[in-house]
Amino acid sequence: MGPRELIGGAILPRAYPLGRMSATPRPTLGWNLDHSYARLPTVLFDACAAARFEAPGLVIANHALACELGLDMSLASDDELAAIFSGQSLPDGAAPIAQAYAGHQYGHFTMLGDGRAMLVGEQITPSGARFDIQLKGSGETAYSRRGDGRAALGPMLREYIISEAMHALGIPTTRSLAVVATGETVARGAGKPGAVLARVAASHIRVGTFQFAAGLEEIEVLRALADHAIARHDAQLADSPARYAGFLRAVIARQAALVARWQCVGFVHGVLNTDNTAVSGETIDYGPCAFMDAYNPDTVFSSIDHHGRYRYAHQPAIIQWNLARFAEAMVPLLSDDEPTAIARANEALDAFAPLYRAAWLAGMRAKLGLVREEAEDLALAQDLLAAMHAARADFTNTFRALSEERAVDGLEPWTLRWHARLAREERPRSKALTAMRAVNPAVIPRNHRVEEALSAAEERGELAPFHELLAAVSSPFALSASRAHLAEPPPRDFAECYRTFCGT
Ligand code: AMP
Ligand code: MG
């Protein structure tokens, strides 16, 4: 079966007319691309080009995000958008590169790099912000090793919907601008339709990028990378003599806040290697990630995470471990005297645990409608989770039920305690409940619904389930009655055997 049959005619327009495009003026959309990363030492990247795709077809385009970037997608036809976002017809000013990086994967150090992605450029928005525009799945690069440089449609749609859901939940994340079906079949099992995801990020600089630069043992390269990252993410530090220590502390603080946000929505990243930890503090590289249904701290979804290294409850410790690798990479910049540099790195790392605990507790207080701070709040939150675990209560729906004053089986004694605690707040309970409904989502991208939407798209070319789920998770704090089914937990047998796959 060819890719057209796999995808279905519904989402694959006719073959992209390359000849005609060269004759007609190209729509400009509003591109304003810069290449500050490509001005860094050349050892940090490699020029690349997209593979040739004969029949790219637009699957989905994010017009609202495009608008925020200063791009008007309505100026281009779907075929033209497909050509642009699969790398076949690059925007004016594009200069694609693949970025070099290294990383600890499951604890083991490896050389990596963009093996299936290219950075088209950095779009400067009308308000002056800078965002990487990256095409993932666009073909082989110097860093592909034995990989084919390709991505399959299902996983790219998965990244699209989960990253957009995270954004709607207010959690820092890379975003998804478009998915284009390449028209190719990629070698994944019996063969899957290929696709390219256009991804938008504050930057794609990873802990692994710093590990790569540090490994070169050329301090000027490391310094150039750090100055670049500071200019992009912590510009207020740029002129400070202590800017590298300040940057290290800022990255640690952002990651502590980020992982606390994940824990508060039951998100399991699934593959928290150091190359998947961004210095921007955005969630990056959605592979085998998933939201948990029933609360269980040992939840692990990834089919290859045999020892549960990246299980839910372990995420804060793993992020701390990744930050220790980051601090190590930064050591040469922290002082000329190594013992002093190491002491500074350790001092910065010591802040992680208290920052994480404070961010988590603040998140849990908000989930429970609490504004005042009482010493017993930590125990109140922990006891709720213990009761939820015992009752196998659904994580998302339990908090939502509390905020809608619906009883949850197994939580009666705890609920009495919480009501007594709410009574000690200054605002009336009704106000607290309203605030809770703005932080406890009514709907998340549940695994069984995501799988349904992806198989409809991949196997039958039907995008309606994907669009319906995307619409629901894009407004997660309000769910219309017609979409109530999307909030229901999966059948127990689904939840018990659900596994996610990466590298696809
Ligand atoms: P990921 O699991 O997506 O974070 O990828 C880990 C590393 O493997 C990165 O360096 C990717 O660029 C690379 N990689 C993943 N899939 C492919 C592929 N199909 N072809 C080439 N490189 C890949
Ligand atoms: Mg990665």
Task: Report which ligand 1 atom has the smallest distance to the Cα of 275.
Answer: 4
Confidence at residue 258, expressed as pLDDT on a 0 to 100 scale: 99
Average pLDDT over the chain reads 94
Q: What is the pLDDT of residue 495?
A: 79
For 165, phi and psi rounded to 5 degrees? -65, -45
Q: Which two tokens stand for residue 367?
A: 């989930």
Q: Is 365 in the pocket of ligand 1 (CB under 6 A)?
A: no
Q: For the segment 242-253, what is each residue's pLDDT rounded down to a tens digit? A: 999 999 999 999
Residue 391 one-letter amino acid: A
Tens digit of each residue's pLDDT (9 = 90 or more) over 228-247: 999 999 999 999 999 999 99
- Cα–Cα distance between 278 and 103 in angstroms, integer? 12
276 lines ligand 1 (CB under 6 A): yes
> How far, in Å, from the CA of 291 to the mean position of ligand 1?
23
Token couple for 97: 């590169």
Q: Backbone phi, then psi, for 296, in 5-degree steps?
A: -150, 115
- Write the pLDDT tens digit of every residue in 114-157: 999 999 999 999 999 999 999 999 999 999 999 999 999 999 99
Neighbours of 439 (CB within 10 A): 19
Q: Is 208 in the pocket of ligand 1 (CB under 6 A)?
A: no
> How far apart are the CA of 280 and the centre of ligand 2, in A?
15
Mutate to test the pocket of ligand 1, among 116, 192, 274 (most ligand atoms within 8 A of CB): 116
Rounded-to-integer distance, Cα 398 and Cα 419, Å: 15
- pLDDT tens-digit series, residues 360-410: 999 999 999 999 999 999 999 999 999 999 999 999 999 999 999 999 999
Which neighbouring-strand residues pair with 173? Answer: 283
Cβ of residue 147 lying under 6 Å from some atom of ligand 1:
yes
Which ligand 1 atom is at minimum distance from the Cα of 103? 10
Q: For residue 110, how far is its CA from the centre of ligand 2 (angstroms)?
A: 12
Ligand 1 contact via 504 beta carbon (within 6 Å): no
- pLDDT-derived band of residue 25, with 50, 70 and 90 as boundaries? low
Q: Is the pLDDT of residue 493 over 90?
A: no
Predicted confidence at residue 26, as pLDDT, reads 62
Structure tokens at 236: 């207020």
Contact status, residue 81 vs residue 75, Cβ threshold 8 Å = no
Secondary structure of 180-194 as H, E, C letters: EEEEEEECCCCCEEE
* CA distance linking residue 287 with residue 290, whole number of Å: 9
**Ligand in closest contact with the CA of 159:** 1
Q: Does the active-site annotation cover 114?
A: no
Does residue 21 carry a pLDDT above 60? no
CA dist 449 and 61 (Å) reads 21
For the stretch 15-52, what's the b/e string if a residue is b when 16 or more beta carbons lie within 10 angstroms of its beta carbon? ebeeeebeeeeebebbbbbebebbebeeebbbebebbe
142 touches ligand 1 (CB under 6 Å): no
Proximal ligand: closest to the CA of 277: 2
Three-class DSSP labels, 6-48: HHCCCCCCCCCCHHHHHHCCCCCCCCCEECCHHHCCHHHEEEC
CB 191 less than 6 A from any atom of ligand 1? no
Q: SS3 of 245, please? A: helix
Residue 14 has a pLDDT of 34
pLDDT confidence of 502, banded at 50, 70, 90?
A: low
What predicted TM-score, i.e. pTM, was given to this entire model?
0.94
Map residue 57 onto helix, strand or coil: strand
Mean predicted confidence (pLDDT) in 264-268: 98
Q: d(Cα 455, Cα 451) in Å, to the nearest integer? A: 6
**Which pLDDT does position 501 carry in this prediction?**
77
Angle value at C-alpha 5, between 4 and 7, nearest 5 degrees? 65
Residue 180 and residue 59: Cα distance in Å, rounded? Answer: 5
Q: For ligand 1, say whether the CB of 270 is within 6 Å of any of its atoms.
A: no
| pLDDT tens-digit series, residues 417-434 | 999 999 999 999 999 999
Instruction: Give the pLDDT confidence score for residue 6 in this predicted structure.
Output: 34
Distance 341 CA to ligand 2 centre (A): 29
Q: Whose CA is nearest to atom 23 of ligand 1?
A: 115
Separation of CA 141 and ligand 1 centre (Å): 11
Whether the CB of 475 sits within 6 Å of ligand 1: no
Count of C-beta atoms within a 10 Å radius of residue 138: 31
Query: Which entry of 79, 132, 234, 275 is annotated as an active-site residue?
Result: 275
Q: Band of the pLDDT at 504, cuts 50, 70, 90?
A: low
Nearest ligand by distance to the CA of 270: 1
Task: Give the model's pLDDT for residue 499.
Answer: 87
111 Cα–ligand 2 center, Å: 12
What pLDDT shows up at residue 306?
87
Which residues make beta-bridge pairs with 392?
none
Query: Any idea which residue has 């040469």 for tokens?
Result: 332
Which residues are CB-neighbours of 284 under 8 A, at least 6 positions away?
Answer: 173, 174, 201, 204, 206, 276, 277, 278
Question: Torsion over CA of 247, 253, 259 and 265, rounded to 10 degrees?
Answer: -130
**C-alpha to C-alpha distances, 284 to 2, 258, 272, 365, 468, nearest whole angstrom:** 32, 11, 9, 27, 24
Say yes or no to pLDDT of 8 above 80.
no
Please identify which residue in the block is written with the tokens 């207010």. Answer: 170
Alpha carbons 333 and 355: distance in angstroms, whole number: 24
Euclidean distance between CA atoms 400 and 185, whole angstroms: 42
CA 448 – ligand 2 centroid, Å: 24
φ, ψ of residue 189 in degrees (nearest 5): 60, -125
Ligand of minimum distance to the alpha carbon of 142: 1
Q: Pick from 164, 194, 138, 136: which is nearest to 62 by CA?
A: 164
170 vs 369: CA distance, rounded Å? 17
**Cβ distance 500 to 303 under 8 Å?**
yes
pLDDT of residue 334 exceeding 50:
yes
φ, ψ for residue 22 (rounded to 5)?
-70, -20
Q: Which of 301, 259, 309 is nearest to 281 (CA)?
A: 259
pLDDT tens for 33-67 read 999 999 999 999 999 999 999 999 999 999 999 99
> Which ligand is closest to the CA of 51, given by its number?
1
**Tokens 């309505």, located at residue:** 74
Q: Which helix (H) or strand (E) holds 60?
A: strand 57-61
Report the candidate in 145, 122, 121, 128 with the shortest Cα–Cα distance to residue 47. 121
**Amino acid 18: pLDDT:** 39
CB 202 within 8 A of CB 233: yes
Alpha carbon distances (Å) from 495 to 237, 295, 454: 46, 11, 17
Is any ligand 1 atom within 6 A of the Cβ of residue 285? yes
Question: How many angstroms separate the alpha carbon of residue 32 from the centre of ligand 1?
Answer: 28
Give the dihedral sign, CA 490/494/497/503: negative
Is there an atom of ligand 1 within 6 Å of 112 CB? yes
**Which residue's CA is the closest to the ligand 1 atom numbered 17?**
147
pLDDT at residue 497, rounded to an integer = 83
Compute the half-sphere exposure of residue 334: CA atoms within 13 Å on the CB side of its CA: 23
Pinpoint the alpha helices (H) of 393-500: 395-403, 412-423, 429-437, 447-460, 464-474, 492-497
Nearest CA to ligand 1 atom 3: 503
